[in-house]
Structure 1
């Protein structure tokens, strides 16, 4: 440990550039409160990168005295990390590595604290366990997904609930879940949003497709909503900046029959749907190789929404406003976005089906959404 007196001005500079957190990579521990009791206290230490003595950790005959009081050579650390780099880890962590840690930490703090107030977003979660897959709506994952574009208003997301259906109560499940979703969305968001200073919503969904579409119709394009997609990597952060997908539209030969829309983006399901709807006009949106991991960028989701807007308009005109039967095999963000672009006054009513794998792999009617014509 150092015996050099470090001026208060240098201490203050090191502290505020580190935002009061340990600068050792992967630690980031807040150094202004006790880790167990959460009582306010100062547990920070000032760690020299190049030791203030040539005989100390990472010491240098020429530089040690010159840099002993230089804030660029001092890291803010918790006691554990400071002790580690000066003892057991002193051979593993070179001065170059520690300088890099300090720079990365302080650059990140500078970026985050530069975010304006108008970039706040209310994180909203809706979902349930699907099979063996449990969604992770933890605050660190949500915060990681938002940054650096936005940051959360609060450290507790608005939870809209959500459950998964069982074969014994199919119809009752959907009725109950739609009622709960409508109530929670109205009570927690729609009745309050006019009083929010910042009205942007960051939406994280992981639930049965019909309910995600329903949610999208409530948090529609009248509201500023940023929809996120769960990635295979485990997080919610978009993996690509701007990549495009060529969506393929297959139109029926006779568009005047009962309209059916099939979205085959995650898996090809059109043939199964055609077998159960032999006397219908089958419209399909698909991609070259349907797969559940194709959605990696906000641009792909935006393009999907624009294509759906045009397609719904074509179907509504061709079918003379008949109710539209909807079958989906899409990433969850696409299901939400479908609901958001569906226009309650302009488009056909929706009859949304879901595959009941618990009862002979049958697609059954799950949710009906009326329009206002």
Structure 2
């Protein structure tokens, strides 16, 4: 039977309860996630944590419930591990921090800690980034965004800071073919440096990249499908890089031949983010060409919502690569005109087999006139 509130007096928490709370919270504030055993400025170690009651002990305390006994008040379910700042905040402004809000914070934090620590060592990964010609890049490259995305994918980052393939780049992006060729060569050098000395062949690599499409293709070919790579998609809705939860949508990819006027000049138009009409291809290659489209029913930028959509794309891309090689033996290369999500451009590059496939020439829009320009060639 619950005691009257006047009978409930503050008593010390049992040591086992405090240890249990530390374990459940991983020694972090359950509101701001601050580490509570290391000083953030000097790095000294000490116990900076405070044990906070959701429902106060004293009758006049914040969120006190008369019906709760002393045992109930000091149970783990009524306790939070907090930094001094947030302990003071919730108790001096209890009207802004009702019990249901604090209970939700506690639940979310402790579930997250449990989920992360359940990830086994063989699910560790190294985060690799490549950002080029991106405005406000810090919005996309924030370390916590990237780490949150890999954890939600049931991985955990092995290193503290991501491996940045564009860090220290000596080449400023200019929208010209010559510049893209130079940037591609620089990227190749950066990958050799990183993968030879930092990334081991059997490690999981989590790729986050936004760049002009030719460079995304190039990145994919340099990584190849021989490594254990997971490529993350940048989303316009929700969290930038995290896969949406409980999203199992599948996409039907369509292969269409819209022009068949040449046995030698063959174009692959990958219009997934936006439609590319044939005259934008023929103005570059001439009227005497063959044009295939790899597309979806309604091209848009938002449809890549899970990894299965990536895998299905690779199957369709591979099918079209083989179809062109078999049906057009006189073609010496494939002219690729892409308008596609970042992750699919990388996955396409990963699927290309330079020693087996026809070389591909990648085109991109480099001017305000909306015309495609030849950029880099892969393979051959």
Relative to the length of structure 2, the TM-score reads 0.89
1:126-182 CA distances to partner (integer Å, 9 max, x unpaired)?
112336776621210101111231111112111111666425xx2431232121111
Q: Is the 8 A contact 2:27 2:37 kept in 1?
A: yes
Q: Aligned equivalents of 1:166 and 1:284: distance in 2?
A: 29
Q: Is the 8 A contact 2:10 2:58 kept in 1?
A: no
Q: Deviations over 1:300-319 (max 9, x none)?
A: 11111110011101111222
Selected match of 2:40 from 35, 41, 49 = 35
Listed one character per residue, the Cα deviations across residues 241-298 of structure 1 (whole Å, up to 9, x for unaligned) are 3211111111243562311111111111132113333111111111121122222221
Structure 1 counterpart of 2:3: none
Quick check: 1:127–1:135 contact (8 Å CA) kept in 2? no
What aligned pairs does 1:190-205 form with structure 2 within 5 A after superposition? Answer: 190=196, 192-194=198-200, 199-205=203-209
Structure 1 gaps, min length 5 = none
Q: How does 1:196-215 map to 2 (within 5 A)?
A: 199-215=203-219
Of the three residues 286, 301, 315, the one matched with 2:310 is: 301
Q: How far off its partner does 1:221 sit? A: 1.1
Deviates most, 280-289 or 63-72: 63-72
Report if aligned partners of 2:124, 2:204 keep a CA contact under 8 Å in 1. Answer: yes
SS at match of 2:127: strand
Residue equivalent to 1:186: 192
Residue pairs, 1:133-212, within 5 angstroms = 136-148=140-152, 149-161=154-166, 165-167=173-175, 170-190=176-196, 192-194=198-200, 199-212=203-216
Paired residues for 1:173-322 under 5 Å: 173-190=179-196, 192-194=198-200, 199-233=203-237, 235-239=240-244, 241-251=247-257, 252-254=259-261, 256-271=263-278, 272-277=280-285, 278-320=287-329, 322=332
Q: What does residue 335 of structure 2 align with?
A: 325
Distance 1:72 1:131 in 2: 46
Say which SS state the counterpart of residue 353 (structure 1) adopts.
Answer: strand
Q: Are residues 79 and 3 of structure 1, via their aligned partners in 2, closer, same or farther at CA, if it must alter by over 3 Å?
A: farther
CA distance in 2, matches of 1:130, 1:54: 56
Report how many residues are paired. Answer: 362
Q: Please give the secondary structure, in 2, of the residue aligned with 1:365.
A: strand
Does 132-141 or 78-87 show the bigger shift?
Answer: 132-141
Please say if residues 123 and 158 of structure 1, whose CA atoms lie closer than 8 Å, have aligned partners that are also in contact.
Answer: yes
Quick one: distance in 1 between partners of 2:172 and 2:318? 29
2:364·2:374 contact (CA, 8 Å) conserved in 1? Answer: yes
- How far the C-alpha of 1:64 sits from its partner, in A, is 4.2
Cα deviation for residue 18 of structure 1 reads 0.9
Counterpart Cα distance in 1 of 2:84 and 2:275: 56
Superposition deviation, residue 345 in structure 1: 2.4
In structure 2, relative to structure 1, the CA distance for the partners of 1:21 and 1:329 (3 Å cut) is same
Measure, in 2, the Cα distance between the counterparts of 1:363 and 1:171: 11
Cα offset, 1:45, TM superposition: 0.6
2:357 counterpart (347, 350, 365): 347
Q: How does 1:70-89 map to 2 (within 5 A)?
A: 70-88=75-93
Q: What secondary structure does 1:354 align onto?
A: strand
Unaligned runs of 5+ in 2: 1-8
Q: 2:371 matched to which residue of 1?
A: 362
Matched, 1:130 2:134: yes
> Which residue in 1 is equivalent to 2:4?
none
When residues 42 and 212 of structure 1 are mapped into structure 2, their CA distance, relative to the original with a 3 A threshold, is same
- Please tell me the root mean square deviation across aligned C-alpha atoms, in Å: 2.1
Query: Are 1:102 and 2:110 an aligned pair?
Result: no
Do 1:228 and 1:236's aligned partners in 2 also have CA atoms closer than 8 Å? yes
Counterpart residue number, 1:112: 116
